[in-house]
Structure 1
Amino acid sequence: MNTELKVIVTRPSPYGEQLCELLSQHSISSDHCPLIHFLPDLSFNTDQRLALLQQHHTWIFVSRQAVNFCFDGFSAEQIANILELAQNKAIITVGDATADSLAQLGINGLIPPTPNSEGMIHLLEKYQLKEKPTLLIRGGQGRKLLQNYFSNGQLNILPVYQRQPTEQPLLTLSNRTAIVITSGQLLELVASHVASEKRGACTIIAGSQRISDLAQQIGFTTCYTAKDASNHELVKSCLLWRNNVT
């Protein structure tokens, strides 16, 4: 009987492969089972995106994908314009990885104390930005917390990417299996693959406390919660799980 510990990584490429490589470096066996992949949202062309960036005082980026897809397709002249614009904008990122993606473009973003909507609201309060025109750059769907916070009509949403489910099957699970889940959509997809009576047989490595809480509510009784959804923090939680299981 094979009793090898196994981590199933559900996050999309290239981050899933990167996490598997890091796990391998720590002698943790893993399989990449991406349950979603990202596609550009073509609702706004580059000129329209640039106009929205110009019109808003505050830019909020909710993920690395938000950064990458937002600036995809811009000309060198447009990028130069954006870099100049950014010097006079309040820019908030959800966490370190998103801030790093912006930094690679030469743009500095504020990082909240917690990598979630609550943390970003903390920064909006701290810098008194609620009354400023704000652009939320994200995928085609997301939590409603920021939208509810800006009940004064100062928030506009710029969707720049879509999450599309794959046809990837989930591997057989056991009490020696852990599944890495970093978003609510991934949790929903994992739950669709795992019958409710079998959800207690595996461990969830959650990328946030919110994901961990949701997982437990639907029957995944064993959850390890990473500090954030970065691969570095996810590896830490996988190591803790391995040490506790073995």
Structure 2
Amino acid sequence: MIFVTRPSPEGEKLSELFNQANLPAQHLPFFKISQGRDILQLQHQLNQLLPQDIVIVVSPQVTHAINQCFTHLTLPKNISYFAIGKKSAQLFKQFTEVEVNYPDREDSEGLLVLLQQQSVKQRNILILCGNSGRPLLAQTLRSRQAKVKLIECYSRSPITYQPDILSEHISQQLIIITSIEHLNQLESYSSDEHKKQSYLLVTSQRIFTKAKELTWQNVLLVKSADNQTIFNAVKQHFPASL
């Protein structure tokens, strides 16, 4: 059984992909997503931007939240748009029709390398994000003398399950983890037996390293959190008996 822990709607879409391919999957989201405290200010904040300023989208949930809150968003021209990952870039482009750049390495470190190609000194940077996440991006850009403002577009709150939710057929489980927060939540439902016998699929080097620190033995790292990339990796690497 494949357990997909990413939130709706991406988690549901990925689970559906697996089930349509006769790969049994269950959507088991570890977080509920709701409207962020700053999202109603987003249009105003965008209107304040100047030419050469930057907007950064940290996850697909940003665009899902914007889509639920706005029927239309007016984005300024002559500024640069970036996303941490391919899926985030695609969704934001679909909704806004602006070009969105993203790094080959789909994490904060990868985006920071990409942004080294231009000076951010004294430029306004809006980071569209959730209520929790890594401070690395904002801290590093501020150290490069950018004027950084975080816009909380969505809020995550943990979903609680019965402690034994993952207790059956442990050796036949594949658990898909797309963030450190999901991995930390998984600790509440996993045992030493899970860490020896189950499979993990993770979508960044940072999650992979943390999983190994937590003594997970069977961990596959894929280069993108895009649903199609995850689906293809599962079909290629994991036994049909899952």
TM-score bracket, normalised by the shorter chain, equals: 0.7 to 0.9
Measured in 1, the distance between the counterparts of 2:126 and 2:111 equals 13
Partner Cα separation in structure 2 for residue 24 and residue 162 of structure 1: 29
1:99 aligns with 2:99: no
Alignment of 1:1-246 (within 5 A): 6-42=1-37, 44=38, 46=40, 48-56=41-49, 57-70=53-66, 72-74=68-70, 76=72, 79=73, 82-83=74-75, 85=76, 87-105=77-95, 106-149=97-140, 150-151=142-143, 152=145, 154-169=147-162, 170-172=165-167, 174-196=170-192, 198-243=194-239
Distance 1:36 1:45 in 2: 19
Counterpart Cα distance in 2 of 1:210 and 1:7: 22
Stretches of structure 1 lacking an aligned partner (at least 5 in a row):
1-5
* Partner Cα separation in structure 1 for residue 29 and residue 39 of structure 2: 28
Compute the TM-score of the two structures, normalised by the length of structure 1: 0.86
Aligned residues: 233
The separation in 1 between residues aligned to 2:109 and 2:152, in whole angstroms, is 20
Paired letter, 1:107: V
Checking the alignment, whether the CA contact within 8 Å between 1:204 and 1:212 is kept in structure 2 is no
TM-score by length of 2: 0.87
Separation in 2, partners of 1:177, 1:74: 39
CA RMSD of aligned residues (A): 2.2
Deviation of 1:10 (Å): 1.1
Compute the displacement of 1:72 (Å): 4.3
Q: What's the secondary structure of 1:129's corresponding residue?
A: coil
